[in-house]
Structure 1
C-alpha cells in the first residue's frame, strides 16, 4: 500500500516537473483575441448587454472556426480580423434586408452592431492607396492586359486582407489593367 502511494506521488511530481521543464512552447495568443476577451469582461462589468452579445458572438464564431475541418493551422490576428469582416458583412446585408422589409428599427440595430465590430479592425486602406499598390505591382510584373491578372493578384497576396479586402483589390486590378 505504501509503495502505491509513493508511486502515485512520484508520478504526479514527475508530471509536474515535465510540464514545468518542457521545451515545447504553446503558440502565442493573438493580441486581438486578448483584447476581445478583455472587452467581454468590461461589457459584463458595465452591464452593457448589447456589446456583450456582439463580442461573445465573435468569440463563438472563433470557437466554431477552430473546431471546423477548414480551421487554419494557427489563429492569428489576421484570421480574427477576417472573421470580424465576415460578421460585419452579414450584419450589413441583414440591415439592408430589414430596411427593405420596412423594419428600420431592426436595420438600425444591425448597423449599430456592425459599428461595434469595426473597432476591432485596423484602419482600412483607401482606394487611392490600393490603386497605388496595384499600379506598382503591375509595373514590376510588366502586366499589359487582363491575362496577366493572375500574376498581379499573386503578387498582391501579401496585402493584409483586413486592411485591403480581396474583392476591392481584384476590382482595382481589373480597372488598372483595363486602362492599359
Structure 2
C-alpha cells in the first residue's frame, strides 16, 4: 500500500475516534475516489498516482469555490474551503512562484527549447520534477510565456 493511502486511512481512523464527522466524510470521499480508480484500472495506485488524484480533487474544489464565491453562496464556499484545507494536508509543501519560474527557465535552457513545439517535452519533465508541489496551470502558463516571448 502506498504511503499516502496509508496516511489517509490512518487519518480517517484518528478522525473517527475524535468524532470529527465532517472531516471523516471528506477523507472517505477521497478514499472512495482512489479505490474507484483502482477498481476501474485494475491496478494499485502508487504515491505519484494518489498525488494526481489529490490534485484533481483540489482543482475541482477550487473551481467550485470560485463559482460559489462569485454567486454569493458563502455557505457552499465555506464547505468547499473546509474540504480544500483537509485535502491539502496530504499534499507536499508547495513551491512558491519564484521557485517554479526558476525551475521552468532551467528546464527550458537544459532542453534547448525554443518554440511552442517543445512545450510537451518541457511540461512532461517539469510534471515529474514538481510532483504535486506546484500548480500545473502555473507551470503551463510560465512555459508558454517563456517559449512565446
Same fold (TM over 0.5): yes
1:143-178 deviation digits (Å, cap 9, x = unpaired)? 223333234334434324311333322211111122
Q: Give the corresponding residue for 1:67.
A: 39
More RCO (CA 8 Å, sep 6+): 2
Alpha-carbon distance in 2 for matches of 1:35, 1:49: 18
TM-score normalised according to structure 2 size:
0.87
1:126-157 deviation digits (Å, cap 9, x = unpaired)? 22122212211222222223333234334434
Select the structure of larger CA radius of gyration: 1
Identify which of 117, 138, 142 aligns with 1:172. Answer: 142
Q: Give the corresponding residue for 2:22.
A: 50
Q: Give the corresponding residue for 1:25.
A: none
TM-score normalised according to structure 1 size:
0.74
The reply on whether 1:97 has 2:67 as its aligned counterpart is yes
Alpha-carbon distance in 2 for matches of 1:59, 1:44: 14
Q: Return 5+ residue gaps in structure 1 as ranges.
A: 1-28
Runs of 4+ off more than 6 Å: none
The number of equivalent residue pairs is 149
Identify which of 70, 82, 87 aligns with 1:112. Answer: 82
Alpha-carbon distance in 2 for matches of 1:56, 1:143: 43
